[in-house]
């Protein structure tokens, strides 16, 4: 079975959540007899093909971007050529150029779309894009929602109810490094014995301004890991609020991230918009047995974090509610520890990379036989 994944960004050029999901799919399904390849775009020079963890990454030059829509004319020809050698084409949505490339490359192979997110921000452009989007989604053989919560709350997915199924994103804990004692000691010295942790790219939909506003009346230590387009804006906001107990530590490597995940008291995840369709770092917190605080936005975040069981779920964009949840966890360590144990159990039950890989391998076989 040969599967070609197509998405606008991938390793080694980009290390975001969708890239991590594709990587886990490729590594996981390869153990089940699937030969994976990835076609992606790049801004950088270098080889057109790279082998990463056993799968080949084909790179096409990025020509330009329009409203976050990456365009590469060369990728259309590459898609047409590589599709002829594949048994299944696996698309990753949203990416409007991908929809167009599917038709321009005249792809005739069985196809599946992992529907990572609705298009939330570019609502005006949706008027022009919607016909192409619906033609594309109507043309593919199967659509996968990353959680039943997202399927239930997406107006787009409801339209394709007959071909949609839910396969939760999974992670393989064995691929994460073991926290080194010296790193643990360094971060413990810097952050203290007990702190809340946020991990993620600093983007508008992550709701970090809500977390900062919540901290205006609390003195609990908070560590914010990540970099991104609103980093300066957030630091200035924290300075205006006088938040000396909030640390921005920037982007860190996997070894440092694991050390912080091991050390932290609880995960905070204040994303308040549907652009946050799942929450990979939230799942990482569950994987490491940490209680979580997140917002109810009708997406996979509440599939990972079940209110009152694995953590606390609050209304979106509500600093007061977020503050109350942080106080509740902080002042009830036995409750927090129990929620962390439930979070780890839920990860092992629903969110392992092996389970995700098995579900996709079965889906591939199903659509090839259809």
pLDDT of residue 294: 98
pLDDT of residue 16: 80
Q: How many helices (H) and strands (E) does the chain have?
A: 15, 16
* Rounded alpha-carbon distances, angstroms, from residue 256 to 25, 176, 202: 24, 11, 18
* CA contacts within 13 A on the Cβ side of 217: 11
Q: Domains for the chain: give ranges and CATH numbers.
A: 2-171+352-369 (3.40.50.2000), 173-350 (3.40.50.2000)
Token pair for residue 12? 């080694």
Which of 61, 57, 60, 137 minimizes the C-alpha distance to 96?
A: 137
pLDDT of residue 45: 85
pLDDT of residue 278: 94
Q: What is the pTM of this model?
A: 0.91
CA–CA gap between residue 142 and residue 114 (Å, rounded): 9
Low-confidence ranges of the chain (pLDDT < 70): none
Reported as a single tens digit per residue, the pLDDT across 87-132 is 999 999 999 999 999 999 999 999 999 999 998 777 778 888 999 9
CA–CA gap between residue 298 and residue 280 (Å, rounded): 16
């Amino acid at each position: 079975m040969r599967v070609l994944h197509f998405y606008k960004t991938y390793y080694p050029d980009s290390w975001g959540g969708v890239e991590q999901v594709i990587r886990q799919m490729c590594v996981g399904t390869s153990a089940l007899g699937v030969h994976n390849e990835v076609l992606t775009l790049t801004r950088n020079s270098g080889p057109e093909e790279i082998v990463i963890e056993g799968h080949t990454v084909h790179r096409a030059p990025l020509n330009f971007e329009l409203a976050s829509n990456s365009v590469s004319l060369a990728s259309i020809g590459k898609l047409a050529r590589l599709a002829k050698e594949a048994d299944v084409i696996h698309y990753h949505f949203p990416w409007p150029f991908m929809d167009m490339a599917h038709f321009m490359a005249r792809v005739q192979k069985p196809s599946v779309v992992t529907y990572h997110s609705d298009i939330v921000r570019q609502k005006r452009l949706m008027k022009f894009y919607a016909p192409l989007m619906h033609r594309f989604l109507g043309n593919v053989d199967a659509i996968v929602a990353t959680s039943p919560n997202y399927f239930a709350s997406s107006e787009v997915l409801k339209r394709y109810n007959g071909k949609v199924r839910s396969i939760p994103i999974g992670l393989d804990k064995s691929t994460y490094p073991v926290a080194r004692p010296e790193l643990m000691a360094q971060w413990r010295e810097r952050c203290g014995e007990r702190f809340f942790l946020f991990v993620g790219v600093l983007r508008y939909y992550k709701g970090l301004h809500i977390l900062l506003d919540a901290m205006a009346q609390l003195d609990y230590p908070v560590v914010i890991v990540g970099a991104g387009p609103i980093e300066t804006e957030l630091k200035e906001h924290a300075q205006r609020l006088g938040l000396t107990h909030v640390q921005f530590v920037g982007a860190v490597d996997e070894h440092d991230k694991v050390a912080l995940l091991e050390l932290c008291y609880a995960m905070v995840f204040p994303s308040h918009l549907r652009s946050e369709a799942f929450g990979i770092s939230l799942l990482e917190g569950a994987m490491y047995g940490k209680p979580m605080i997140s917002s109810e936005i009708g997406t996979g975040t509440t599939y990972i974090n079940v209110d009152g069981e694995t953590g606390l779920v609050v209304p979106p964009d509500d600093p007061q509610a977020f503050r109350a949840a942080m106080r509740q966890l902080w002042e009830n360590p036995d409750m927090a520890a129990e929620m962390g144990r439930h979070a780890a159990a839920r990860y092992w039950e629903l969110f392992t990379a092996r389970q995700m890989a098995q579900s996709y391998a079965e889906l591939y076989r199903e659509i090839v036989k259809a």
